Structure 1
């Protein structure tokens, strides 16, 4: 398993909000405890809201609060999209300012981290190609609002999905979907989507296929 895939799997395990022991995470990903400790440090330094420490356990929290501001996940997402876009620009002054501002945001985000992020995650971010997914976010949001099915090309396969929820994990976006092919829920990494097409067919909530059903399944 590639490290980026392992880190994503760890986020998916931890996102239920409960405390997970490092030994259990190591068994679930088939790596050593030392690797898990390094992975937790990398995720925390990359902006994923990790809480916990060695010998106790880890969990991911969803709330992001910047004193004296209280930002929603959508507002935080918009802020990071803009800053990362500017940070990647050719304008040296603006790029430097965007990276400095992201570092300040990271510094005041109330997360229990073993070490402070450096370079606001630009250099150490484990999902380096996440910016590719920015273009898909408006389409995904619109499809969720209008309840339209999507044809998604991801990892060389075309899939028909029902988009249910966008989640934001430390500059990585995932989309909870119901997949028509597998007849099951899935968490798609938005940065891995190669092509996205809105289909004319609509969907309605059905037993076993709704976001409520997904959340019930994830509940410990």
Structure 2
């Protein structure tokens, strides 16, 4: 665990109230407009997912850990086979990143359409609903799985002190090429420096991922 003098202070956590209110307003407007404008994309992706695997659901719902370690259901387009969670235990030894995360570049559980929507991050679009509800923000640390948080140190848990986001500093700084410890450091850096301008910069950089990043898997 990192030394206590490296932990976030109360002043760093209690961001300017005006910033937090504006951030929430931007989240509501942005997610609402996004859901409307992207509805044709939702329909096309839903059809493609069903064509490849008619028996499986279009959306994937998973319990994630949010601000102050609260639990919520995060939504994605399903990019894996229906029994992906059951198959995970057989793949844990092949994990390609360090720390409390599982990443595997050629994960055999990923479907054909799943490879495309993951590479372009289209699978993340249903999280706009999470943003509208207030579970997530457009920008913030990625919400981890329960099993990942079980392995967190007190230092790692600092990333759970703010509302999680659809995108963040980690995603635009290397994403899957970075290890767990690097992700934590980037999240803590974001928490210390967050502002409306900083959020906009991250959102614009994220557009490159949506246009086809090679870092996502």
TM-score normalised according to structure 2 size: 0.26
* Larger strand share, 1 or 2: 1
TM-score normalised according to structure 1 size: 0.26
Greater RCO (CA < 8 Å, at least 6 residues apart): 2
